Structure 1
Amino acid sequence: MDRDTLIRARHASLVAVAFVITATLGTNARAGDETHFDATTGYRIDRYRAPTPDTVPGATTISVDDVRRLLKDERAVLVDAMPAEGAGPDPKTGAWRLSKKREHIPGSIWLPDVGKGVLSPAMDRYFRTNLDRITQGDQARALIIYCLADCWMGWNAAKRAAAYGYTRVYWFPGGTDDWRDWEGTLEPAAPVPLDVSAAAPN
């Protein structure tokens, strides 16, 4: 069995319950699990460490091999949506006050907390402006968004990037867990500070 088949089998085994697609709301939710989703937007709003579905609305699900190919052939941008553990951004400097270090896929841009189910106006602006910066305003630039395995933060962030109008959003559900397992190379991550010239996030 090749590595892509192993990865897909791993995720399939974790997702044992069928997903309910509510067409009128445009949401993807696990049967009996609807309370964990915003009924209007479809974003996961709590219990972010849990098995995820196989797909994200507006995004393409990819494997480790796809990540390598997109980085090499498509100049894809890696976006790490892992939440920051700590006291949050400093209101004076915008620097993230971390209580736990993070390692991620080399070359990634770490944008903490952009995968939360509800973003404050400041955090929404943070995500939008940084995506615009790293793509140089090209909404057709390939974006690879990830977190950890079984992490809804990456799922939410990918869905949100597609909602912003990015047309080539790729979701890497295995995140740093699968990358470490197959590639073994991670590097220390430094989160992008907030712009404190605007209001601080809630």
Structure 2
Amino acid sequence: MSEDRRPITPAEFGEELTKFEHTAFRLELQPSYLVPEEVELLAAFLCGEPVPPTTVYKAWYDQISEHVRQGKRIERVRIQDDPPTDYQRFERWLDKWNRQAGEIMRYLPRQQAHDIGLLPRAGSDDWWLLDSSRLIKMHFDGSGRPEAYELIEDPAVVIQACKWRDLAVHHSVLVGQDAPA
């Protein structure tokens, strides 16, 4: 593996998400995610007894709020199925807290992502684009469980991700009127 493309640990992944200077953008492509800290929250939501995620995700919400306070921009586009999966309905419910923390949330229907050429060209893995200079690919198994992370600084790959980000943002719908455009 080259110097401008290397695997990183989950701890390094978390650290990279704190080191951006101006912008962080995530493209979410999975129909569902299987992460241990969400199991109970998701189960409660699916049983019709949702529990606010403020305890489980307190550190994330605090981190977003601090970045936004510093003038940084955090945004994501979620590719969604029609109809949305149970997990995607859960994500939409979580949006309230992400937006309150300052994250900009957008949605793009999966079919439209195909129609505009974003999919399958942008890949099947989620990624974070940091300061339009670094890309973190997040590899998942078939059930949405994170398997590996890869930091990419190859200019050609990063530039292509910037183009995909711009395409996704242009065609997506902004969630909530309180979020900046």
- Is the TM-score greater than 0.5? no
Name which structure has the greater RCO, CA cutoff 8 Å, separation 6+. Answer: 2
Q: When the two structures are superposed, what TM-score results if normalisation uses the length of structure 2?
A: 0.33
Flag the structure with higher helix content.
2
Q: When the two structures are superposed, what TM-score results if normalisation uses the length of structure 1?
A: 0.31
Flag the structure with higher strand content.
2
